[in-house]
Amino acid sequence: MTTQDSVLAERSRKFGVAEGDEGIVRCDACPVLCRIRPGRAGACSRYANENGLLIRTDPVVLLAEAVEGGQPLVAFAENAQDWNGSILPAERVFVTGIGSGTTYPDYKPAPFIVSSQHEGVDTVTVVTEGIFSYCGLKVKIDTDRHLGPETAAIRVNGEQVGHVTTAEYGSQMLSIGGVRHLTGGSKKEGNTTCETMLKLGNGEAVELTIDGGHGVVVQAGQAPIVDGKPETRMRVGCGSATIGIFAKQWQGHVDEVIVVDDHITGVLTEHQAGRVLDMKPTGIRVRGRKSTPGRYFQVAQPGLGWGGTDITDPLSIIQKIDPGTAWPGMRLLMTSTTGEDSLYCILDENLMPVEAEMPAAVRQVVERIGENCEPSLCSVLFVAGAGGSLRAGVTENPILLTRSVQGGTTRVTMGGAPVYVWPGGGITVMVDVLRMPRNAFGYVPTPAIVAPIEFTLPRELYLACGGHAEEIVPVEEVLRAHGGQARIEGGAAENPWPLRRG
Ligand code: SF4
């Protein structure tokens, strides 16, 4: 038996059990417990039976720093069988959970428990693929366009996969997935939710429809497409903020500016910014509920028009123009918060706004609003609870791991990407999917999402936590056994750790 054969046999024993004498192997990597015949794959295609051995079908992903020149190492596995791991310097390699497999039920030690040195400290990294039922995506869509009412259902192929949640500054927020949609509804709802999360997590585009709202194509790191139209700009700020930023640049070029916004529509001369500049009142009153001087809520309904309202004719939000204050020839600018929509008018003898050619100086400020908008993007954050049984693959006394994570002495990464650990109980983590290697997510048909997770802590602490001491393997040995088949990635440049330290 070659070294590689014995490595495969050992992995097979970790993930499953041979059954009968027909070469069938039972996959133990999730509760589905597929019985897989030779040459076939299990229900999730992540495991297969190769000549009577259970293999993980995707390669394990290693993050590797460049040896020279600052560039990450690239795949090198042309003669994988002969490779002895010497190309990768062990101190510059991090074993991720992607492709590592799952040792279910979790009282079995995790697939890789790797010892290495980090900044002179003996550390242990426990590496596994977690199976998460409690998980979801928070999606941030940089647009002020109205996608749908708060709490409205989000659907894919008619199945509810999430809901619209509280909007943030310049962004609409969606909550996708979660345990209720995965397991609390019909089988179809669960499978559609799982597939939607899997695609979004792996950076694919998904078309969502929102009850009482619009259709939006979402893809991490890309601009959203709302009802077939790609969004380009994230608003510079609300209407009031826009007035505050640009008031001085308008002074002397226009007499009044109205910045149309679904949240706060700003009126320059009435706003504190205009007052501080001693701008003359113009007597224009816009519709909606006055919050404070020059700041109006609810000037229109939310929509896909100007500034996230349903307005296509901006003059429709002018409720009245006071003839005792306004004057013929008065110069009025109306603009949206992205500068994409704008209208320049001059009041005629009857104090009616009449569209006129926008002077260059005014145009310049409108263009500057656009220049100050950031590109509209979709961000996808994966949130999962790792405070359950997978902890037993790390330690025999899981509460000690939880406390250590909460106390910051155990570092959690997902595919080598940094996570935010939520305060309070459990191990609830959140990660930006774009900081993870590509195709980091998988699924099992229970349904649940499979995601990589790594716990790194000082060796001494690992032993004190009741860690599986007998399973610790030096990183050099892991590289010798698995480096030849591994997928090598450089890791996202913005990740401060584990490759870019100090
Ligand atoms: S669904 Fe996948 S992980 Fe689960 S038992 Fe089957 S092959 Fe193994």
- Per DSSP, the chain holds a count of helices (H) and strands (E) of 9, 35
How does DSSP assign 299-343, residue by residue?
SS-BSSSGGGBS-SSGGGGEEEE-TTT--TT-EEEEEETTSSSEE
Q: Which tokens in the block code for residue 305?
A: 């028009």
**CA 41 to ligand 1: nearest atom:** 7
Note the pTM of the prediction, 2 decimals: 0.92
Q: Which tokens in the block code for residue 355?
A: 């569209």
Q: Which of 27, 40, 104 to mutate to test the pocket of ligand 1 (most atoms within 8 A of CB)?
A: 27
C-alpha 395 – ligand 1 centre gap (Å) = 24
> Does the CA dihedral 158-162-166-168 come out positive or negative?
negative
Per-residue pLDDT 10s for the chain (502 aa) are: 677 788 889 999 999 999 988 899 999 999 999 999 999 999 999 999 999 999 999 999 999 876 544 444 444 444 444 444 455 667 789 999 999 999 988 889 999 999 998 888 999 999 999 999 999 999 999 999 999 999 999 999 999 999 999 999 999 999 999 999 999 999 999 999 999 999 999 999 999 999 999 999 999 999 999 999 999 999 999 999 999 999 999 999 999 999 999 999 999 999 999 999 999 999 999 999 999 999 999 999 999 999 999 999 999 999 999 999 999 999 999 999 999 999 999 999 999 999 999 999 999 999 999 999 999 999 999 999 998 889 999 999 999 999 999 999 999 999 999 999 999 999 999 999 999 999 999 999 999 999 999 999 999 999 999 999 999 999 999 999 998 889 999 878 888 878 765 4
C-alpha 40 – ligand 1 centre gap (Å) = 12
Ligand 1 atom 2: residue of nearest CA: 44
CA distances from 121 to 91, 117, 457 (A): 11, 5, 9
Contact 462, 135 (CB under 8 A): no
Which bin fits 466, alpha (ψ -120 to 50), beta or left (φ > 0)? left
Q: Which tokens in the block code for residue 289?
A: 């509920």
C-alpha 83 – ligand 1 centre gap (Å) = 30
- Residues having CB within 6 Å of any atom of ligand 1: 27, 29-30, 32-34, 42-44, 46-47, 444-445
**CA 445 to ligand 1: nearest atom:** 1
In 3D space, the residue among 366, 380, 359, 295 whose CA is nearest the CA of residue 337 turns out to be 366
Residue type, 398: P
Burial label, 432 (beta-carbon count in 10 A; 0-12, 13-18, 19+)? buried
Q: Which of 19, 33, 46 to mutate to test the pocket of ligand 1 (most atoms within 8 A of CB)?
A: 46
- In this structure, what is the dihedral angle of CA atoms 309, 315, 318, 322, given to the nearest 10 degrees? 160
